[in-house]
Structures are given as structure tokens and as C-alpha cells.
A and B are shown apart, each in its own frame.
Chain A
Amino acid sequence: MISRENILMNLGVPSDQAEPYLIGLIDELTARSLSVCSPMATCSVFFSPTIDPVAGVMAINEKTFGLNRMVAKAMHKSTSIALFIGTCGPDVEALSKSFMKKGEGLEGFIVDIIGSEIAEGVADFIHKRMEKLLAKENLKVTNRYSPGYCKWPVNDQQVLFELMGPHNCGITLTPSSLMIPVKSVSGIIGVGTDVVNAGYACAICDAEYCLYRDKKRQL
């Protein structure tokens, strides 16, 4: 689940120039992070959403999401919408902070990256699991989208958590709609017979300042 290549990429180190010491440190910290993490996730499916791809909005159970047009367009043929929340738990973050506090910036940075990888892995797990289960019903899934990305305002996180009710994996939201623990993920996945999981989507997104923009193409 944790890719050494991704960690090196996030450290800005070309994989063919990684020193053996760094590889060893990454492997050691990966094992340590995995031993303290407590990944969990939850998912709820809502039927008959109302989606307006022109206005870029979606309503579920009378709650409205201000998706932008790109995300609404990706969702608009969905007959149901899965909301998901996942986390790697608080302990990986705590481990990273403890390294930083001791002045061990490299170790702290690597553990922080591993925390992000675990959280992303949780989201991947939900996505793939849903895809596999729904395929048996001849249903397909869309890409997954999260508030705060692809120009979908992050404050819709509040709506998402409201709809999920107590099924929140213990994650809380700050007034600025960020999740605590920070290494958490949330989002939506469209479900239907006529939807597409298009994979890489940066080419059709105009979010000029997105931190994930073409990230995997940079090295």
C-alpha cells in the first residue's frame, strides 16, 4: 500500500539518485508508521441525487453541495452517490510532530508523507472495493472527488459530514472545514450504469493553483 517511489517523489528525490541510507530510513519509518496507524473508513450511499451540471450543484436529502461544473459534470449521470470518510488516525501525525520537535526534520517530513500515503490508501481501498462490489450489480463508479480539490469549495465538507451523521470515524472539522486528524480524507463517488472512472483528470481541470496539479509528472 505504501509506495517507496511515491515517498521519494514527495521528497523531491529522483528514485535513481536515492542514497541507500535514505531508502533504509524510508523503509524503517514506513514500518514504524504502519505499526502505530489506525486506518478506518466509512461510506454511505444516497439514492436519487439531483445534479445540475450547468449550475455545478448537487442536492442529496435536501442538502446542497456547491460542486463546481467539472465535478458536477462527472457526477451527473450517477443514480446514487457514495459519501466516504477515512483516516489514518492521529498517531502517525503525532509521530511526525515528535520528530520535528526533536529537530529531526527529515524523519518528521518522511513520516508526514507516509501519513498522507496511508490516508490516500484508505480512500483508494474504499474506491476499489466499491468498484469491485458494484460491478457484480452491473454498476460502475466515477472518479472520486473531495471538497477543497478541483475547485470544489472546502466548506462543503460541513455538508458532507452533516449527511454522514455519527459515521465520521472520529474526525472533527475546524471552522475552516479542515479535518482533524489532518491525515484524513473525505469525498464523493458517483454510481450508475452510465458513469465513467476517467482516472487522471488534471488535463480537464482549470484549477491553476492546485497542489496536486500534474504532480506525478514533475519528476
Chain B
Amino acid sequence: MNNDELLLKLLECVEYGKVNKDAPYPPQMKGQDGADELTRQALAQGIKPADILDNALIKAMEKVGQKYAEKKIFVPQMLVAAKAMNTAMEHLKPYFSSGEVRKKGKFIIGTVSGDLHDIGKNLVAMIVEGAGWEVIDLGVDVGSQKFIQSIANHNGAVVGLSALLTTTMVNMKSIVMDIKAKYPGTRLIIGGAPVNESFSAEIGADGYASDPQGAVSYLNSLVA
């Protein structure tokens, strides 16, 4: 395969969630090389890591996002695509460390204080990472101080707050207020089953994402 064909094939693997040769999904690509093998091959063929990222991986995730927005695919397909993307990204890690390729920006995420639910937060982290962002996951039961400390350590990071319960979503308000008081320029988005756009506006957050792709769209709009 020449370089263009290889990048196209890699794009296809990420788009359809073909992680590696052994992966049974998607059935129509059974037995074929996946994102794992093709990324290694691309690097071995001398394709620049930045080209792999820009012309295959990120383009693939953009197609995934588009199809999700059009309801042509659903969360499961998005998650397998993210897994393929993250598998490919593992091979690019050394180039991120050396500065040869760069992430789109930093995203700090955590489930707010009082709340132990992490599944939604983890899914968002996974998809956002797959979209080319560096994710700093603070875990669950995270209060204002921990978010503020992390912002101090990661200048310019966007912050995402997650909550599952009506009883803990109220804690988002004080966290947003505390962060905005200390770092007024910090962009904040919220998400989680009980929250919505109007609640986001009510508590002074900058955005609301109803699903992981919504978070990616918001983040990408900041660097477009």
C-alpha cells in the first residue's frame, strides 16, 4: 500500500472501530489489519505522525461524529471507534512527548463532589481523548479546590463537570462559581443525565453537552 492508501485504510479502521487484526468487530473486516497494525506500518513506512493524526485519525473521528449527529450510528459504534482511535494513539505517544505532534488542547474532567458515578464521565473522557485532546481525569467526588488546582497545573485547559443525580447536580453551581472567581477565563461545560442547556446557563457554565460527541463538538469549536 502506498502512503495515501495506508492512511485511507487506517481512517476506515478507526471509523468502523477495527481495533486490531484479532478484533471480531466489525464483521465485514474480520481477519484484516486494524488500527493497531496499520499505525505501526504507517510509522515504519515513514509517514509523519502529524499526517497520521490529521489525515487519518482525526478525520475518522470527525466522520464518526457526523454520523452520530445524523443518527446513522449510536453510542456503541462511537465507543468502538474511540477504542480504535486510542489504540492508534498509543503508537503516537512518543511523538506527543517530543512535541513533534500536538494535541488540540487540554480537557480537565471530573464528577462533582458528593457523586460517585463515573461511567458517563469515563465515556466522555474516552471520546474526547479520541478526538485529539489531552484529558486530565480527576475522578469522582471532585470539589472546587481539586478542579482549581488542576487548572493551575494545566494552563488554558477547558473544564468538564459531570453529575448523575439531581441531588448532586446542585454542587455544579458552587464549583462553577469558585472556578470562575479564581480563573474567570476558564471555559466550563457540564453534562450528565439530569442537567440541560437551561441549567447550564442558570449556573453560569459556558456550555452543555448531552452526550460525548456534544462535548467534542464544543471543544473543537474553541480551537476551530
Contacts and interface: CB of A to CB of B under 8 A. Distances in A.
Interface in A119-177: 148-149, 151, 153-154, 174-177
Given A103-B83, A108-B122, A176-B113, A148 B167 contact: yes
A22 interface: yes
B122 A100 contact: yes
Contacts of B119: 96, 100, 108-109, 112
Interface in A70-109: 96, 100, 103-106, 108-109
B83 A105 contact: yes
Interface in A162-219: 174-178, 180, 182, 207, 209-211
A105 B126 CA distance: 8
A11 interface: yes
A105 B114 contact: no
A189 B195 CA distance: 28
A134 B115 CA distance: 36
Contacts of A174: 114, 116, 141
Contact of A13 (B75, B166, B167, B196): B75
B116 A178 contact: yes
Contacts of A21: 24-27
Interface in B9-60: 24-27
Please report whether the interface of chain A is mostly helix, strand, loop or mixed according to DSSP. loop
A189 B164 CA distance: 24
A182 B75 contact: no
A176 B115 contact: yes
Contact of A209 (B24, B25, B194): B194
Contacts of B82: 105
Given A105-B79, A109-B79, A209 B195 contact: yes
Contacts of A96: 119
Interface centre among B87, B119, B194 (most CB of A within 10 A): B119
Given A11-B75, A176-B113, A178-B114, A148 B165 contact: yes
B122 A12 contact: no
A177 B114 CA distance: 8
Contacts of A20: 27
Given A153-B167, A182-B116, A210-B166, A105 B122 contact: yes
Interface string A10-28: 0111100101111000000
A106 B83 contact: yes
Given A105-B82, A105-B122, A210-B194, A154 B165 contact: yes
Contacts of A151: 166
Contacts of A108: 119, 122
A86 to B, nearest CB: 18
Interface string B118-139: 0100110010000000000000
Nearest to B195: A209
A47 B87 CA distance: 59
Contacts of B76: 11, 13, 19, 22, 106
B83 A211 contact: no
Nearest to A157: B167
In order of increasing CB-CB distance, the 6 nearest A-B pairs are A176-B114, A211-B193, A106-B79, A154-B167, A209-B194, A105-B79
8 contacts: A21-B25, A96-B119, A106-B76, A154-B167, A176-B115, A176-B141, A209-B166, A209-B169
Interface of B: 24-27, 74-76, 79-80, 82-83, 86-87, 113-117, 119, 122-123, 126, 141, 164-169, 192-196, 199, 211
